[in-house]
Amino acid sequence: MPRRRKPPRAGAIGELPPLRILSQIAAIQGIYYATALILFLFTGLVAGTGFHLDLVLGWASLRGDTTQGFVYAFVWLCCSAVVAVALVALVARSKLVPDFVFTMHFLHLCVVTFFTGFLPRNLMWWATMLCSIVATIVMAMWGCQWRELRPINFGGNGGGRTTDDGGAAAENGHAGGNPDGGGMGDEEMGFGRGRGRGRGRDGAGEYELASIREQEGN
């Protein structure tokens, strides 16, 4: 007799599906490079230095002994802020943020090394990437935690309904011949609450009881 396999835990496959993770990594990496292209193109046009692909996929221009190098470092930090917003929107789980951030920067290191043929040798490049990692993790985790801790709204309006019910109960209490407000309005009025459906505890009404008595008599 073949041995039965133990069924998988409920939700185990749906928690971290591989295709979804790969698609999220590709989306985050694409947003990272798209933002860098736009910002470096804008910076090159404003500064009059022109744009070349080495600004995004290289490391030689990111130097610590020139003002332009600090400007490029600031551009990369701006890219990290955009990526943090993308992580909050796409991932939305604070415990997964460090994994995505480290994966993104590791892939960027591989791309830069493949594009230039050498590992980055400028200390400014490494310092900028380290600051980018820390800034992205801090901003994305704060955004994800803020999103996770937001109150869940199921579409009801509890506050307004409580106020309306309280006003209706008070109104029905006076209408039912209990002007001193002894707290017996709902108990004596049943579920009618001023709608003219009866005065019984079960909300059936005197007319329905009268009809039942007539049937029993017949």
Domain ranges of the chain: 19-148, 185-218
Residue bearing the bigger pLDDT, 29 or 201: 29
Query: Residue 147's pLDDT is what?
Result: 82
Please report where in the chains the tokens 């990496």 appear, as a residue.
Answer: 29
Global pTM reads 0.62
121-130 pLDDT, tens digit each:
999 999 999 9
Does residue 198 register a pLDDT over 90?
no
Closest CA to 199 of 180, 213, 184, 214: 184
State the Cα–Cα distance between residues 6 and 47, nearest whole angstrom: 64
Percent over 90 (pLDDT), the chain: 42
Q: What is the secondary structure of 7-45 as a DSSP string?
A: PPPTTHHHHS-HHHHHHHHHHHHHHHHHHHHHHHHHHHH
Q: How many CB atoms lie within 10 A of CB 111?
A: 14
CA–CA gap between residue 71 and residue 42 (Å, rounded) = 12
Angstrom distances, CA of residue 90 to CA of 72, 97, 152, 213: 27, 11, 19, 66
Q: Tokens 């993790």 appear where?
A: 137
The amino acid sitting at 103 is: T
- What's residue 17's pLDDT? 85
- 77-to-152, 153, 183, 201 alpha-carbon distances in Å: 33, 35, 64, 68
- Is residue 62 over pLDDT 60? yes
Q: By percentage, how much of the chain surpasses pLDDT 70?
A: 62
Distance in angstroms (rounded) separating the CA atoms of residues 41 and 47: 10
Quote the tokens at residue 143: 């955004």
- The confidence band for 139, taking pLDDT boundaries of 50, 70 and 90, is very high
DSSP 4: P
pLDDT computed for residue 177 by the predictor: 45
Q: Given a cut of 90, is residue 40 above it in pLDDT?
A: yes
38 pLDDT more than 70: yes
* 172 vs 36, residue with greater confidence: 36
Picking from 153, 193, 164, the residue whose alpha carbon sits closest to that of residue 176 is 193
